[in-house]
A and B are shown apart, each in its own frame.
Chain A
């Protein structure tokens, strides 16, 4: 291959860019689309020195271990797990939109949705890329070291073979929309081997440099690779690319689908040829040096990553001396806090979010990463905790822009969700149908796909939980534009509940209340209970959020009054005289599994904010919630622990919240619950079988921030649940606070030493620490630094 192929003409680029913006104006922009020429940094953004947030290992992954030992890269849409094996670099490449299945609108006999890989569909791999370097077999190299540079978003490895040091970098660039592999060496060595790009769905290869195909659902996809070298030669040889005697080798790969987030076009862009576009992208990227591509990527990445710094204190020298995997094992074995490792775990979550949630579909059950085509639960969007948990940390960790894929997704699905709800929800076979006989607005099932489809059982309150999550993003950002975008979702969900709520009289009283129709409290207990706490709390929050939104946007005044009226009549849970717990069902009895993973009866504590331990909530309600949380136990797995930690943070119990974080940092071996070698969270679904589920990688960082800062509009509390392990000193910057502020917080000896508030739209708020509180008033864009809380 000729590394000096001419630039695509300026004219071509311009016309491509024009087409792109036209599509954007018309509606859903394809996730994989022609992009304007990347903005190249004028000064080098590369960091030097050793103080960056680094993770390192002394072993690569291999074909069979990529889900636990592959290192993830991603540009927000296009991702890969990399093995970093010296003799065989393997990238399993994904595109967020690479989904089988479709609308899935034929209900099963029970009135619920089919949930299979053909009908509902599954997230699947886009491609696999291997770079074989036979002379660099792992059994023949020494000093192998592998790093994930969180501060720059670069995976790297190095090793020595016959006294030559070889280095490799892998990164996924959003500006250039490619994954780059850069192979270098020092000491007079060269690279000889082969590059193979292939599909994983039995595609017929169309040559060494690209392939394209389509699924039965009509989704077209394709990928392309291009390589160039310094020294030696690179040549296409049948279905592979050979490289021989190269002092340096650069490989760029791209790919995608013709998915478009637009129900009116059936979620396709029929004009898009993904293989052709991928070829264009790798050809364009290959005209630049690997160094240029790296600098462009790092500048883009750091714009997001640099928004939050975190220190939870200093670790000991013997902890720092360990590689990340040994360090995880030591943290668990020795029971000694490792504040730098714990902070790095949070930053790893941020790395995953930046890598997996920009400009395409939101993070699914596996984020953006796969090791095969049959992920558990299809790698889908689960609406009863998982997709919401994925985004709890976005604002809290300074990554508000990464939230947008979640919003975009819900908006793109709304027409389909609405149509399916109208057509299918009141199917007489659906046990959850509205007994009022009415149906309005929209809701979802427990699983959703990107084709407008639902899977598994109906989940009536799922609409409220999605809306409440989207609304919280407004609380953090105070973005009216965002509020206006999500308003139709909120209103449609309110309409759904207006049609669904039943009026009942509480036994022994004359009090009329509104309760949710027959439903299941996720995911245990009776499937036909009315007035479940889960739905009542969700709808109560939804109605409140809608009313604020309507007022803020000056819309639907009359309807907002109606909804406010309904909200006042909503039944809210009581404390069981039998168990002392806040009731999950309208029953004093425990109808479910005491230590169940879900905390569906506690959604008013978190993510809801109705139950507060600050005197504003009746003490018996707080005590009942606390008692139920205690009964749920401390020893669940990933996301369930993260959720518990968030609840304990809200209850200001630092010890328990921290213990749950520590539980999630337990090294996973033999498929056990905990954190894998590559820091992915592993959920043991059956003895000895662990699967990757990404939600805890996001939920745990969310809990860590929630321990440092609680916020609601008009009220901030500093260090509500600071554990001893992090108390000595620390700081966190760029934490978004509900109400429209961004907070930088420093502490020492367990007390805040300074807090800086910057308004991104917020005006007046109380800032509290313990018994001390101050009121701050700022204009948007203004900031203030407060000190003296420690006195």
Chain B
């Protein structure tokens, strides 16, 4: 039986986890700590929790009194775990994640055990890492830990360090002879998995974490990604090895990848991990935890290409959600709400980096809004961007129960009205609107809803349609009835309708649909199916009117089609609609769908 769409209860999938456990042949080997975890499969929903990195990386007064990144200590982690258990656990927050540095002293000098495995720094974690996990588990929470990908250079030990539980293997066996480096900082030697010793090393690390009782591992600096590309930085084999090693421990350990993972390898990330950071660090490394410009706001541009890839088992990770204390976060109230809204609707993991002992009341209201958490945790798809990537945006998800989750965003630096037109959602007539942040039914709206949003502000609604679907008429870009200008030309495109599109829309290249017929004059939400490997802009105009320039988000690559709604004013009868690259480079156009009625 299906659970209700908005359920946040972990009742679903009980049977699935049992099957998985049996498959792994480890049903009897589940460690003690497992008893404290629920039995959902890993990453069935975006995980919720807390991470140490935001406070570690901040220069906010008092956080890192003993030098950069010195915040990370057992005392601080347990303080946060206690606060989470007390304030947030009942809303679904469960992971307490220790980030970089647990094996490094406050001068950032690392410690390793006799087998080249990271060892707890005795000053930061005097009782070792297991004691921390035990404490966390005792609070009914889960524990997360961290590693950079590769063999850290300091662990190499002239190649003579033995690998645990691998007779004859030493560190020299697991890296390349030329000691080529890898990861986002080049801080490790790339591991050569053609030697079986290499897997053994990963196995030895995974076993350590399982023994300590960790439930989560963030593997950082992973490429392609982490601002690196090329063979030396291709860590797909490392990630695969980690998945295998974790499975071998018998302990369910969530594997999260970081940072700015290459979308070209998304199938690898989906296959081997439970989540992947789509972007760089959200932290500003400044006097607050984050700032809007550096780099919260980037997520609105970068998320759309990834939306299609999120789902149970693996989620798009937008990084820490630092909305709990306005002064420490460095954000306005409006920015904090928008931040939480995007994370919720994109189905990003919801882990905060805030000081949970110092949440302000507005922060608590953001982090504990059950209706918003339900959007993130429920059995609903991630919202996609319905509009161009302009300062005023509408994102929406169609839910299994026929409602829509709709978010309005104003990314401009000043207040603006933002409209969600029901035509963008594909229906006409009325709909009832519930305001999730404010827990309020707003009533019935015809045609759409317009709200005033503050600078960098947002609204989050559940829309229940009371109207009817609007049929559309498709016009293919490659139709011979259209006019191509400049360099524009028809090209093959297997993902496109009709297997063709119009491309080469650059430096004056343009495409005109010549005979777009509507019955009545009005503003129509034209659905534009386009392909663009990077964000590009386009001037859209109808008939002899002036053009409006819109930015189109990347679709991820040049073989993927996405669709956004663009308002165009049409007259009754035949119209022309023109897509003009102007003085720049524009996306390729697959087709447009014109609704039968205006908005």
B436-469 vs A, Cβ < 8 Å mask (1 yes, 0 no): 0110101000000011111101110000000000
A106: Cβ under 8 A from any B Cβ: no
A142-175 vs B, Cβ < 8 Å mask (1 yes, 0 no): 1010000000000000010010000000000000
Q: Looking at the complex, which one of B415, B522, B547, B548 makes contact with A138 (CB distance below 8 Å)?
A: B415
B12: Cβ under 8 A from any A Cβ: no
Cα–Cα distance between A64 and B412 once the two chains are bound (Å): 11
* Contact indicator B544/A335 (Cβ below 8 Å): yes
- 9-residue interface stretch from A29-37, A55-63, A564-572: A55-63
Cα–Cα distance between A544 and B440 once the two chains are bound (Å): 72
B333-362 vs A, Cβ < 8 Å mask (1 yes, 0 no): 110010000000000000000000000000
Q: Looking at the complex, which one of B440, B459, B544, B545 makes contact with A139 (CB distance below 8 Å)?
A: B459
Chain A residue contacts of B548, Cβ below 8 A: 333
* Contact indicator B417/A58 (Cβ below 8 Å): yes
- Within the complex, the shortest CB–CB distance from A767 to chain B, in Å, comes to 39
* Contact indicator A139/B437 (Cβ below 8 Å): yes
* Contact indicator A140/B455 (Cβ below 8 Å): no
Q: Looking at the complex, which one of B334, B440, B522 makes contact with A318 (CB distance below 8 Å)?
A: B522
B414-442 vs A, Cβ < 8 Å mask (1 yes, 0 no): 11110000000000000000010110101
- Within the complex, the shortest CB–CB distance from B516 to chain A, in Å, comes to 16
- The B555-595 residues at the A interface (CB cut-off 8 A) are 569
- Within the complex, the shortest CB–CB distance from B415 to chain A, in Å, comes to 4
* Contact indicator B458/A139 (Cβ below 8 Å): yes
B546: Cβ under 8 A from any A Cβ: yes
Cα–Cα distance between A333 and B543 once the two chains are bound (Å): 11
A334: Cβ under 8 A from any B Cβ: yes
Contacts A69-B415, A334-B546, A335-B546 hold; do A140 and B452 have CB atoms under 8 A apart? no
- Within the complex, the shortest CB–CB distance from A682 to chain B, in Å, comes to 13
* Contact indicator A334/B545 (Cβ below 8 Å): yes
- Within the complex, the shortest CB–CB distance from A317 to chain B, in Å, comes to 10
* Contact indicator B414/A68 (Cβ below 8 Å): yes
Q: Which residue of B lies closest to A66 (CB)?
A: B414
Q: Looking at the complex, which one of B413, B435, B522, B547 makes contact with A142 (CB distance below 8 Å)?
A: B435
Chain A residue contacts of B334, Cβ below 8 A: 138-139
B521: Cβ under 8 A from any A Cβ: yes
Cα–Cα distance between A162 and B441 once the two chains are bound (Å): 9
* Contact indicator B457/A138 (Cβ below 8 Å): yes
Chain A residue contacts of B415, Cβ below 8 A: 59-62, 65, 69, 85, 138
- The A63-106 residues at the B interface (CB cut-off 8 A) are 64-65, 68-69, 85
Contacts A139-B457, A139-B458, A139-B459 hold; do A323 and B337 have CB atoms under 8 A apart? no
Contacts A333-B546, A335-B545 hold; do A139 and B454 have CB atoms under 8 A apart? yes
* Contact indicator B438/A140 (Cβ below 8 Å): yes
- The A322-364 residues at the B interface (CB cut-off 8 A) are 323, 325-326, 330, 332-336
Chain A residue contacts of B546, Cβ below 8 A: 332-335
Chain A residue contacts of B452, Cβ below 8 A: 58-60, 138, 141, 144, 159
- Within the complex, the shortest CB–CB distance from A22 to chain B, in Å, comes to 48
Q: State the main secondary structure of chain A at its contact with B.
A: mixed
Contacts A142-B435, A318-B522 hold; do A65 and B451 have CB atoms under 8 A apart? no
- Within the complex, the shortest CB–CB distance from A145 to chain B, in Å, comes to 8
Q: Which residue of B lies closest to A333 (CB)?
A: B546
* Contact indicator B417/A162 (Cβ below 8 Å): no
Cα–Cα distance between A330 and B454 once the two chains are bound (Å): 23
Cα–Cα distance between A678 and B454 once the two chains are bound (Å): 16
Chain B residue contacts of A556, Cβ below 8 A: none
Contacts A59-B452, A68-B414 hold; do A162 and B545 have CB atoms under 8 A apart? no
- Within the complex, the shortest CB–CB distance from B8 to chain A, in Å, comes to 23
* Contact indicator A65/B455 (Cβ below 8 Å): yes
Chain A residue contacts of B450, Cβ below 8 A: 58
- Within the complex, the shortest CB–CB distance from B543 to chain A, in Å, comes to 9
- Within the complex, the shortest CB–CB distance from A666 to chain B, in Å, comes to 9
Cα–Cα distance between A278 and B337 once the two chains are bound (Å): 41
Q: Which residue of A lies closest to B435 (CB)?
A: A142
A137: Cβ under 8 A from any B Cβ: yes
Chain A residue contacts of B435, Cβ below 8 A: 142
Chain A residue contacts of B451, Cβ below 8 A: 142, 144
Q: Which residue of A lies closest to B410 (CB)?
A: A59
Cα–Cα distance between A335 and B333 once the two chains are bound (Å): 39
Q: Which residue of A lies closest to B334 (CB)?
A: A139
Cα–Cα distance between A62 and B442 once the two chains are bound (Å): 25
Chain B residue contacts of A334, Cβ below 8 A: 545-546, 569
* Contact indicator A139/B414 (Cβ below 8 Å): no
- Within the complex, the shortest CB–CB distance from A752 to chain B, in Å, comes to 31
* Contact indicator A162/B544 (Cβ below 8 Å): no
Cα–Cα distance between A318 and B523 once the two chains are bound (Å): 9
* Contact indicator B333/A139 (Cβ below 8 Å): yes
Chain A residue contacts of B453, Cβ below 8 A: 59, 138-139
Cα–Cα distance between A140 and B547 once the two chains are bound (Å): 34
Chain B residue contacts of A162, Cβ below 8 A: 440
- Within the complex, the shortest CB–CB distance from A720 to chain B, in Å, comes to 28
A95-139 vs B, Cβ < 8 Å mask (1 yes, 0 no): 000000000000000000000000000000000000000000111
Contacts A333-B548, A334-B545 hold; do A62 and B414 have CB atoms under 8 A apart? yes
- The B391-426 residues at the A interface (CB cut-off 8 A) are 413-417
Q: Which residue of A lies closest to B457 (CB)?
A: A139
- Within the complex, the shortest CB–CB distance from B586 to chain A, in Å, comes to 18
Q: Which residue of A lies closest to B438 (CB)?
A: A140
Cα–Cα distance between A170 and B415 once the two chains are bound (Å): 19
* Contact indicator A137/B569 (Cβ below 8 Å): no
Cα–Cα distance between A323 and B450 once the two chains are bound (Å): 11
* Contact indicator B413/A140 (Cβ below 8 Å): no
Cα–Cα distance between A177 and B337 once the two chains are bound (Å): 41
* Contact indicator A333/B414 (Cβ below 8 Å): no
A291-334 vs B, Cβ < 8 Å mask (1 yes, 0 no): 00000000000000000000000000010000101100010111
Contacts A69-B414, A333-B569 hold; do A138 and B454 have CB atoms under 8 A apart? yes
- The B518-550 residues at the A interface (CB cut-off 8 A) are 521-523, 541, 544-548
Chain B residue contacts of A138, Cβ below 8 A: 334, 415, 452-454, 457
- Within the complex, the shortest CB–CB distance from B308 to chain A, in Å, comes to 29
- Within the complex, the shortest CB–CB distance from A739 to chain B, in Å, comes to 42
Chain B residue contacts of A64, Cβ below 8 A: 413-414, 455
Cα–Cα distance between A65 and B454 once the two chains are bound (Å): 11
Cα–Cα distance between A557 and B545 once the two chains are bound (Å): 61
* Contact indicator B414/A61 (Cβ below 8 Å): yes
Q: Which residue of B lies closest to A326 (CB)?
A: B417
Q: Which of A62, A142, A330, A336 has the most CB of B within 10 A?
A: A142
- Within the complex, the shortest CB–CB distance from B175 to chain A, in Å, comes to 50
Chain B residue contacts of A140, Cβ below 8 A: 437-438
Cα–Cα distance between A781 and B541 once the two chains are bound (Å): 55
25 sample A-B contacts, Cβ–Cβ < 8 Å, listed by A number: A57-B417, A59-B416, A59-B452, A59-B453, A60-B415, A60-B452, A61-B415, A69-B415, A85-B454, A138-B453, A138-B454, A139-B453, A139-B458, A139-B459, A140-B437, A142-B435, A142-B442, A162-B440, A318-B521, A330-B569, A333-B541, A333-B545, A333-B546, A335-B544, A335-B545
The residues of B with any CB-CB pair to A shorter than 8 Å are 333-334, 337, 413-417, 435, 437-438, 440, 442, 450-455, 457-459, 521-523, 541, 544-548, 569
Q: Would you list the 3 A-B pairs with minimal beta carbon distance, nearest first?
A: A65-B414, A58-B417, A144-B452
Q: Besides the contacts A144-B452, A333-B541, A334-B569, what 4 more A-B pairs have beta carbons closer than 8 Å?
A: A58-B452, A138-B457, A325-B417, A334-B545
